[in-house]
Amino acid sequence: MLKYGGYCGRFLRVDLTAKKITTEELTEEFVKKYVGCNGFGAAILYNELPARIDPFSAANKVVVATGPLTGTVVPCTPKVGFFTKSPLTGGFMDSYAGGHFGAELKFAGFDGVIIEGASEAPTWLYIEDGQAELRDASKLWGLSVPETEAAVRRDLNNDAVHVASIGPAGEQLVRFSCVMVDMSHAAGRGGVGAVLGSKKLKAIAVYGRKNPIPVADPEAVLALAEKIYQHIQETPSLATGMPKYGTTGALKANQTSGILGTRNWQSETFEHASSIDGDACLRELFEKNLACFQCPLRCTHFSRIKEGKYAGTTTIGPQYETMYSLGSVCGLTDIKAVAKANEYCNAMGLDTISAGVTVAFAMELYERGILSYEELGGLDLTFGNDEGLLAALESIVARRGIYKLLGEGTKRAAEVLGRETYKYAINVKGLELAGHSVRGYKGMSLGYATSTRGGSHQDMRHIPERAGLFDRRDPSGKAQLNYDITSTTTIRDTLNYCAMIEDVVGRVGITEKHAEMVNAVTGLNLSVNEVQQLADRIWNLERAFNVREGMSRKDDVLPYRFMHEPIPEGPSEGMYCPPEELEKMKDELYEIRGWTRDGIPSRDKLLELGLDQVAEELWP
């Protein structure tokens, strides 16, 4: 039995080819070295995946993992991580969902699941209190996410079961398909849903009641929980702002600063922002709050449209990223239309960020005359045309005409289309950008470019710059800021607490608070330096995964638009990140991280972090 708190002590391994399910004990050495979710996922993928495999081959794997905080009394710790080689980027991908699935998996007796091989016929996995079995999913194949979850619960005669599933988009191998958890939460980025689709795994259902999660120091954990509750109560933006608006308040804040992606980022101010902001959601959509496991914030909203052409629509959210990607970046001016598109994406299992940014890419090509009305299958993709957006999304899922190519993502689509369409493809390493400005934050410029997963806002965080703690217009010092912030987000994703409580333990740099959190739950007794080393080990392992796939400095670049076109108007007018500025910041960051000038983790750095096998492989 594992001596550390916060763990069940074992993983499930599911071989879909052989239809074989086994359990594997976590070793003390593995736990001490990688601690939890992000660390477990990175280590398993690096150690078990051959280099340069096709992400849709049976050789790829999906790791589902929790952290030591998951399922404990510590509030705001609901996350579950999904890890794979991304079909969108060709590199390491980690994507996280909230809800109750992660805690339920641990209550069922497992810290995670390793899914490998591929089934010949559709199947789904059921896990209950230490047992697991594969079931026939032939009748589920082709169903939407809500239909799938309802069918699984009917089959089990249990409404309390929690379900992670894919929709038709994943089945059709749309490269930005996601995994939906309980219909409310998405492990959205990087195409994990498409990888599960390639394995013909439609759903994972979990039910657990017999496995309470032990902690190393119960009194310290209760004190930590009290501290987080107190912080929430004393912080108006959390205590009242999140239940009222969720993350939708970010739209107004970004519009005010002139950094709201608009019409495929041709500009960063949206003249119709007030029609799709948080107040519009309150007026037109939100009906009641929903909460993740053990979370007092209740930042998720159930929405219903009661009148108009989209009357009858019900959806969860939208949250800020979707209001950006299906709203301002596509030029939509009707929050009800955004909600309708969000409902469709969730039902089909599409990542709303990549889906919206990809349609916006097509809209700009249409308005510039690069793609014709006929090439677009007779769709009018003028910016702001909500019916065109919805029809384009449906065609992507159906893989119809040119939309089959668009379902490959903006990077691949631009490579096939040619005609200098790369200038309008908004992605980093193939992952379409989230809704926090590259041009308006120098820290984010470097953060997006060097993120191991591409255009994600969850590695580098914009909030310290938006709050004015750091000058968002000055590139100096941003390499150190990137190192300090990505260290904390790596630990956040390893312990599995929500980004909403980053302030409790600190957003910039590893501190004693991070060590106290991990030690209270696990008893690992890590020092601050050892927590920093843990963050470095995991980040370098992710980087090494990408290096093994052929990535290097040449891939740490930004979309053409952000390096060559200044923001044309508004409060951030004139800001951009020219190539020479980005290259200088990269030099500084590589030096801080102990990487070569080509962005490769040095042999000495890897050995220092205990990654001897990786050092031998990268530096034979």
pLDDT tens profile 427-474: 999 999 999 999 999 999 999 999 999 999 999 999 999 999 999 999
Q: Is the pLDDT of residue 537 over 90?
A: yes
- pLDDT band for position 504 (50/70/90)? confident
- Sign, CA torsion 35/37/38/44: positive
Report the Cα 602 to chain-centroid distance in Å: 28
Say which residue the tokens 């007794």 belong to: 525
* Strand order through the sheet with 112-116: 20-25, 10-15, 112-116, 62-65, 80-85, 92-97
Query: Position of tokens 């992952």?
Result: 431
On the question of pLDDT at 503 being above 90, the answer is no
Which of 309, 86, 290, 334 lies closest to 192 in space, CA to CA?
A: 86
Cβ contact 601:543 at 8 Å: yes
Question: What does the pLDDT read at residue 210?
Answer: 86
Amino acid found at 526: L
**What per-residue confidence (pLDDT) applies to 34?**
98
Is 522's pLDDT higher than 90?
Answer: yes
pLDDT at 114 over 90: yes
Q: What is the pLDDT of residue 555?
A: 98
**Of the candidates 99, 569, 101, 532, which has an alpha carbon nearest to the alpha carbon of residue 295?**
99
CB 95 within 8 A of CB 81: yes
pLDDT at 374 over 90: yes
Element (H, E) at 583: helix 579-593
Q: Strands 179-181 and 286-290, how do they pair?
A: unpaired
Of the listed ranges 95-99, 197-201, 504-508, 578-582, the one predicted with least confidence: 504-508
Calculate the alpha carbon distances from 177 to 112, 173, 206, 418 in Å.
21, 7, 22, 24
| Rounded mean pLDDT, 521-550 | 98
pLDDT on residue 184: 86
Percent of the chain with pLDDT over 70: 100
User: Mean pLDDT throughout 116-127?
Assistant: 98
Q: State the pLDDT at residue 98.
A: 96
Ramachandran area for residue 5 (φ above 0: left; ψ -120 to 50: alpha; else beta): beta
* Mean pLDDT computed over 343-347: 98
Q: Cβ of 288: how many Cβ atoms within 10 Å? A: 10
**Predicted local distance difference test score (pLDDT) of residue 359:** 98
Confidence of residue 112 (pLDDT cuts 50, 70, 90): very high
Confidence of residue 369 (pLDDT cuts 50, 70, 90): very high
8 A C-beta contact, residue 558 and residue 438: yes
Query: If you count DSSP H runs as helices and E runs as strands, how many of each does the chain have, helices first?
Result: 27, 17
pTM: 0.97
Q: Distance between CA 195 and CA 36 in Å, rounded?
A: 23
Give dist(CA 548, CA 8) in Å, integer.
32
If one counts every other C-beta atom within 10 angstroms of the C-beta of residue 169, the result is 31
Average pLDDT of the chain?
A: 97
C-alpha distance from residue 251 to each of 257, 273, 325, 441, 469 (Å) = 10, 8, 11, 16, 20
pLDDT at 1: 81
Span 175-201, pLDDT tens digits:
999 999 999 899 999 999 999 999 999
The number of beta carbons lying within 10 Å of the beta carbon of residue 413 is 23
Cite the DSSP H helix spans in 451-578: 463-466, 478-495, 502-505, 512-522, 528-548, 560-564
pLDDT tens track for 583-599? 999 999 999 999 999 99
Partners of 203 in the β-ladder:
124, 165
CA distances to 78, 221, 245 from 521, rounded to whole Å, are: 15, 6, 32
Q: CA 226, CA 606: separation in Å to the nearest integer?
A: 38
How confident is residue 328, by pLDDT bands cut at 50, 70 and 90?
very high
* 3-state DSSP percent of the chain in helix, strand and coil, to 5: 45, 15, 40
